[in-house]
Amino acid sequence: TSRSMVNFYYPPHNLGLPKPKHQLNAVLLGQAPASEEDDLVFPSPEFSSQALVPSFNQYMEMYKRSVEDPAGFWSDIAAQFYWKCRWDPSVYSGNLDVRKGNVNIKWFEGGITNICYNCLDRNIESGNGDKIAIYWEGNEPGADASLTYTQLLQRVCQLANYLKDIGVKKGDAVLIYLPMLMELPIAMLACARIGAIHSVVFAGFSAESVAQRINDCKPKVLITCNAVMRGSKLIHLKQIVDSALTESSQNGFSLGACLTYENKPAMKREATEWQVGRDVWWQDVVPKYPTTSEVEWVDAEDPLFLLYTSGSTGKPKGVLHTTGGYMIYSATTFKYAFDYKAEDVYWCTADCGWITGHSYVTYGPMLNGATVVVYEGAPNYPDPGRSWAIVDKYKVTLLYTAPTLVRSLMREGNEHVNRYSRKSLRVLGSVGEPINPSAWRWFYNVIGDSRCPISDTWWQTETGGFMIAPLPGAWPQKPGSATFPFFGVQPVIVDDKGNELEGECSGYLCIKGSWPGAFRTLFGDHERYETAYFKPFPGYYFSGDGCSRDKDGYYWLTGRVDDVINVSGHRIGTAEVESALVSHSHCTEAAVVGVEHEVKGQGIYAFVTLAEGVPYSEELRKSLILAVRKQIGAFAAPDKIHWAPGLPKTRSGKIMRRILRKIASRQLDELGDTSSLADPNVVDQLIALADH
């Protein structure tokens, strides 16, 4: 392999040769390729010729500059945004190497800007005020609304003025617990406008999870709504908030205000429980404020938001992103990975409660002045064709979704897809977990009519934006591979001793050097930040993912290598589920592992040990699951509870998860050596109880 000075493996020379007509591709002919590695899906010449990055050579040129001269590369891009004051002195400074001192990352230090201003005011000033910023589609077909950039700015300013008026200041935290109403991106942008730090909590988290986050970030204000319809189910969000606040107040916490949006189609205000003095109806106060507001100019390194994510302990991690670098990175990754053009209509099916909704519903697209579809409901409500109905209704050109959704709609059959035209679609995107080749093919052949490149984007809450992702039009894709690194990103694969591996290899995925969208710390716990991400392989950022690189230099993500599982693209810490299970009075010990799941990617498989004398029963199984729903949320409910009178442990008391994973996936002939167990009999016992 020829290795360039930037540690990048060039794909083979054949990528530079004239491309075969994409109709000749083996995938399209329905033939199995010799191997996944040889399964190349070429973009059409028509697509490539109009693409922002039309060829691999052009990518290489840009990529090389981005890693050899990051300051030049990123400051050219940053110059396209508005800075009240330019950064000085350097584009990047910092240290990632724990052996040399504390980890600190700074981009555009000294620069003064505001991301809300760059999303809204800047686009309006450049003549796009009348362009649609948000098409909102409600849960019920027929319920919809839209806002132009000018109207969105007005709404954001009113809320910003209200928040300022009640005393929210730069640096204060605001917790947002909202479903996908327009008010969710409005609330995020309003916080950003006044320099407040938003912390969006996915509205599927339980009261206890909300309380845990309140206790950690101590928000001045909480923004929520009274209720929401999800599919045909009514969910009382305000009730969840109420019990979270009751719990936090027992910890001595007191909230400035609970701003509650009256989501009328779901629930009238009269039916909502109310705490006078603390609770305020959004509709009663916000519209009274002026529709313009001053911008709070902030430092590039001032915090923009906090987003909690799961790690390998029971306590969620408050990932902190700052303003300047995140702004430049989310905007640039959006633009290139979706080959964004001003005429595009973009729909990301993710919820703003996750990082995808931060970077690719709100900030990335709006920094580009894009038209964004925000959908409140479920993708299969009222029927499995809803997503394609939305695509046709808004003439969506860029569709960004998750493999789990692709797989679940694939199971419903092609007739739900074929009823719709989908001819507006141009680029498809995937995120959240490795997309299996069969789902990839269905997405490509059926949804995209074999026309639309798929951007399989690998990234994380921590990375702020795409790290490894195809630039559609620039090179052939391989179904299941996220392909090549984004500009400025230097992936390395290391072995368990931290040695960098070369050429074709597999191991742990790390990143060398920094990129603008990198998170800067874990809120209130910089030590955990260093320990979890920078100490495992000193000198690198450790992603927690396994990865291999094939003969052509393509990257293939293979899933988490830590105690995090990925269920329907949601990151769940096994320790969090375990702690929820043992909170049940009848459960003394629990061990949770991930197992392969046809639709969700991974399912949650829980081994539980019950208190002495408590018999296992169906009723108990249900109440254990309920304990998890209550502590975390319904999305973390175990798929299987396996009664375990004992767990396989080493003599020093460590649970051997390797064995549990094999039992959970019924690979009983691959249990391996069990002789080091304190009590090898527990394995047979567990196997005997597998289908109990």
Catalytically annotated residues: 562
Contact 226, 266 (CB under 8 A): yes
Taking CB under 6 A as the criterion, the residue among 164, 549, 571, 662 binding ligand WTA is 571
* Under 8 Å between Cβ of 647 and 621: no
Interaction between residue 560 and ligand WTA (CB under 6 A): yes
The set of residues, in sequence order, having a beta carbon less than 8 Å from that of 553 and lying 6+ positions away, is 1, 8, 9, 10, 11, 484
The answer to whether the beta carbons of residues 312 and 564 sit under 8 Å apart is yes
> Residue 159's closest CA among 260, 302, 269, 290?
290
Secondary structure (H, E, C), 507-560: EEEEEECCCCCCCCEECCCHHHHHHHHHCCCCCEEEEEEEEEECCCCCEEEEEE
Q: How far is the CB of 307 from ligand WTA (least distance, A)?
A: 9
Question: CB of residue 472 vs ligand WTA: minimum separation in angstroms?
Answer: 14
Pairing verdict, β 345-348 and 371-375: parallel
Alpha carbon distances (Å) from 453 to 358, 413, 515: 24, 22, 26
Sheet of 345-348, strands arranged across: 144-148, 132-137, 371-375, 345-348, 398-401, 427-430, 454-456
Amino acid at 193: R
Segment contacting ligand WTA by CB under 6 A, of 32-40, 143-151, 328-336, 350-358: 350-358
Rounded Cα gap, residues 93 and 91, in angstroms: 7
Residue 42 or 202 having the CB closest to ligand WTA: 202
* Alpha carbons 72 and 665: distance in angstroms, whole number: 50
Least CB distance from residue 355 to ligand WTA, whole Å? 5
Q: How far is the CB of 633 from ligand WTA (least distance, A)?
A: 14
**Segment near ligand WTA (CB under 6 A); pick from 29-37, 348-356, 418-426, 525-533:** 348-356
**Which C-beta is closer to ligand WTA: that of 471 or that of 482?**
482
Q: Rounded to an integer, what distance in angstroms lies between the CA atom of residue 195 and that of residue 114?
A: 8
**Cα 142 to chain centroid, rounded:** 29
Report if residue 362 touches ligand WTA, rule: CB under 6 A: no
Pick the closer one to ligand WTA by CB: 371 or 543: 543
Interaction between residue 472 and ligand WTA (CB under 6 A): no
> What x-and-dash track marks residues 303-322 binding ligand WTA by CB under 6 A?
------x-------------
Q: Is 368 in the site for ligand WTA (CB under 6 A)?
A: no
473 binds ligand WTA (CB under 6 A): no
Q: Which of 432, 464, 472, 601 binds ligand WTA (CB under 6 A)?
A: 432
Q: How far is the CB of 632 from ligand WTA (least distance, A)?
A: 15
List of residues 6+ apart from 502 with CB closer than 8 A: 1, 3
**Tokens describing residue 557:** 């993500």
Candidate segments 411-419, 454-462, 531-539, 586-594, binder of ligand WTA by CB under 6 A: 454-462
Number of residues that bind ligand WTA (CB under 6 A): 24
- Rank residues 293 and 602 by Cβ distance to ligand WTA and give the closer one: 602
Given candidates 70, 365, 544, 601, which one binds ligand WTA under the rule CB under 6 A? 544
Name the token pair of 24: 């000749």
**CB nearer ligand WTA, residue 95 or residue 506:** 506
CB of 185 to ligand WTA, least distance (A): 18
Residues numbered 489 to 518 that lie near ligand WTA (CB under 6 A) are none
Residue 98 C-beta: closest distance to ligand WTA, Å: 21
From candidates 242, 279, 433, 578, binder to ligand WTA by CB under 6 A: 433
In angstroms, what is the minimal distance from the CB of 347 to ligand WTA?
A: 17
Scanning 127-135, 252-260, 538-546, 639-647 for contacts with ligand WTA by CB under 6 A, the matching segment is 538-546
Q: Which runs of E-coded beta strand occur in 112-220?
A: 112-113, 132-137, 144-148, 173-177, 197-200
Q: Is 459 in the site for ligand WTA (CB under 6 A)?
A: yes
Q: Which positions lie near ligand WTA, rule CB under 6 A?
A: 309, 354-356, 430-434, 456-461, 482, 543-545, 557, 559-560, 566, 571
